[in-house]
Amino acid sequence: MPSAHAALAAEIERRIADGSYPAGRRLPSEQALAEQYATTRARVRTALAALARRGLLVSRPNSGWLVQAGHRAQTVGELRPFSQWAATHGRTAAGRIVHRERDGATAREARLLGIRLGETVLRFVRVRTLDGQPAMIERSTWAPLVLPAIEALAQDAPSVFGGLADAGFDVVLGGHRIEAVAASSEDARLLGVRRSSPLLQISRTTAIRDGSVIEVAVDRYVSDLVAFDVKAGDVARTLLPRHD
């Protein structure tokens, strides 16, 4: 005979499966669940933790327990703009630029963008959402060539690449590098996750059709929302340097 918390976990799992607790939505509070199922809050917490270990739930600071929406995977060799990729899965993507400023290019940025050290670039931080839930942070540095187009974007522009296309730039995606990183304090605040939570980081470049690199960027994805598939031959193995 299953234990009381196992039986409760099975009942909550059944309600997740039949849609009573929809994917991507928050569960009732632990206290509300305890009252609903005539049990203790401690027993509810044990049952929810068991479901979380199986990947059905995730706990978010200040948000309680969320039903996992399931991973949506991109193939690295076919990486597409975030909004376009989301639309193919029937998801609604949105974004908001939360910080934007001009600055001088660092040595790395100058090298990757093919400009002079200290030449004016524009940096922004943009939070992307899937169906209203924070899913990714973009931190981009833009080349002088596209500054007017980027500065003209609304804070909540649905597509940066769409704005660039409207300005006459034919954008193509460049190289990508995938790493696992821990969420910084700013990441945690913007994404609503705990500090040091695992994130998937994509370091990438964007160019226009003539080969000029216009963007150097780092995207950080909530790891329980988005995954990346790697096809043989698409990505080379890299030996990371030691940090002694």
Reported residue count of the chain is: 244
Mean pLDDT, the chain cut into blocks of 10 residues (244 residues total): 77 82 84 92 88 75 74 56 78 91 93 94 95 92 96 92 91 79 92 88 88 93 74 46 43
The tokens of 74 are what?
A: 């991109």
Full-model pTM: 0.66
Question: What confidence tens digit (pLDDT) does each residue in 119-153 have?
Answer: 999 999 999 998 888 999 999 999 999 999 999 99
What residue ranges do the domains of the chain occupy? 4-67, 72-229
Task: Write down the CATH number for the domain with range 4-67.
Answer: 1.10.10.10
Q: Tell me whether residue 46 is exposed, middle or buried, using C-beta atoms within 10 angstroms of its C-beta: 0 to 12, 13 to 18, 19 or more.
A: middle
The tokens of 149 are what?
A: 């187009």
Q: Do domains 4-67 and 72-229 have the same CATH topology?
A: no
Task: Write down the CATH number for the domain with range 72-229.
Answer: 3.40.1410.10
Is residue 163 within 8 Å of 152, Cβ to Cβ? yes
